[in-house]
Amino acid sequence: MISFAIPYAVTWAVRLFGVRHVLRAPRFYGPDWCCDCRVAPGFYENEGRALMRSLQARVLMPLVVEAALGMLLWSQGRFLAAGAMEASAAAAAYLFHLSLLRGVAWRAWRYAVPVPDPVSSLAVSLRQRKIADYQRPWLEWTLRGAVGVVLVLLGVALARPDAGENVARLVGLPGVTLYAVLGLMLAKHAAAAWRVFGTPAVSPEQFMEVQDAARRHLALVCDYLRAVVLTPLLCWVALQGFPGLRAARLYLLVGPLAAVALVGLAPLVQSERQLVKLGRNLRTPLDRYRPVAATPPEGSFYLVGRLCFRPGETAMLMRGPGGLALNGSSLRTRAWLVYGAGWIVIGVAMVAWK
């Protein structure tokens, strides 16, 4: 139970830390700003008050449902299902919060302080980025090696004479955990390929530097979560393959996980601070930036403009008539849909197994 409780608690801590950032994001540049536009003094006590209350309600209410569902699963002893649910919620929350902040920024432009001589936007280079640009080779090979060791130890555990009674448990737990690791790898590739549609003509290099730092930070977050997930799995499989180590199972399950979780926080916090510093320095160049009228989106859109088909376009998200739209023609989109369907199959199998 402790081996599941620590990753679950870490995931919740990351979630709450992210929620704190989301609620503070509109005032990132100061009290006279709302997202990326300058507003009149007293905005958050007047026009922006309802805007912030709406954002708070939409961000915090899903957490209540999520916590209640997690407590229900824990009370029934379904620790793995609770962890899978929390990991899925964390991934979905990122896109949900991004959508909320885009909506707040769009609504805030109605109250923006007029600035003379607006500057038009400048198209961003569509150069295809490589995942190798946003990862540390030694860390990537370490994580890959950990997966290999897990598979070897799993083979040792299955080869034991008494493994016949616990085959479902020996295969199910590592299988679900490695499937979650696969999702983190897909998220890392998506972060590396993420791009914006436009950038201000004022200091575009500085703006792109912030975007690049954001991709690097997201990739580091994915690596950190992979390490936190793989560490207890590696120790658990070792205990199944070598029962003589079970006398020290508490130290094996808690000690390495706590060490990895704490040590990994240092580069993560440093990366976030660097990203925040770059973002705050971008305030002055964006002071005179105002977006021009958006060009009409191309392609066929469905489901109230949230689904589109653009053959030849590799991006998952496209600019649609009502905001971001999911590109059904992208191979990356199809991979995510297949991956999500896999979680549904796993959930049904877990319920049937119980």
Of residues 144 and 74, more confidence is placed in 144
Instruction: Decide if pLDDT at 121 tops 50.
Output: no
- Residues 9-20 have pLDDT tens digits of 777 777 887 888
Residue 306, in any domain of the structure? no
Spatial distance between the Cα atoms of 179 and 173, rounded to a whole number of angstroms: 10
My answer on whether 268 and 132 are in the same domain is: yes
Spatial distance between the Cα atoms of 253 and 213, rounded to a whole number of angstroms: 34
Where does a domain end: 268, 293, 318?
A: 293
My answer on whether 125 and 66 are in the same domain is: no
My answer on whether 89 and 142 are in the same domain is: no
Where does a domain end: 56, 81, 114?
A: 114
Spatial distance between the Cα atoms of 333 and 316, rounded to a whole number of angstroms: 5
Position 186 scores a pLDDT of 86
Q: Of the candidates 40, 43, 44, 39, which has an alpha carbon nearest to the alpha carbon of residue 109? A: 39
Where does a domain end: 114, 142, 166?
A: 114
Q: Any residues with CB less than 8 A from the CB of 326 and at least 6 apart, and which?
A: 306, 307, 308, 316, 317, 318, 333
My answer on whether 67 and 149 are in the same domain is: no
- Residues 299-335 have pLDDT tens digits of 677 777 778 887 777 777 777 776 677 888 888 888 8
Q: Would strands 307-309 and 323-327 be described as parallel, antiparallel, or unpaired?
A: parallel
Q: Would strands 199-200 and 323-327 be described as parallel, antiparallel, or unpaired?
A: unpaired
Residue 228, in any domain of the structure? yes
The two tokens of residue 168 are 């479902």
Rounded average pLDDT over 130-134: 77
**What is the tally of structural domains in the chain?**
2
Q: Are 194 and 113 in contact (CB under 8 A)?
A: no
Q: Of the candidates 349, 334, 332, 214, which has an alpha carbon nearest to the alpha carbon of residue 274? A: 214
Q: Of the candidates 150, 158, 217, which has an alpha carbon nearest to the alpha carbon of residue 177? A: 150
Q: Any residues with CB less than 8 A from the CB of 207 and at least 6 apart, and which?
A: 199, 200, 282, 285, 286
- Residues 222-271 have pLDDT tens digits of 898 899 889 988 988 888 888 888 777 777 777 888 888 888 888 988 98
* Structural domain span for residue 54: 1-114
Q: Classify residue 130 by its DSSP letter.
A: P
My answer on whether 97 and 165 are in the same domain is: no
From residue 252, give the alpha-carbon distance in Å to each of 235, 240, 320. 6, 12, 50
Rounded average pLDDT over 92-116: 77
Residue 33, in any domain of the structure? yes
Residue 340, in any domain of the structure? no
My answer on whether 37 and 136 are in the same domain is: no
pTM: predicted TM-score of the whole model, two decimal places: 0.71
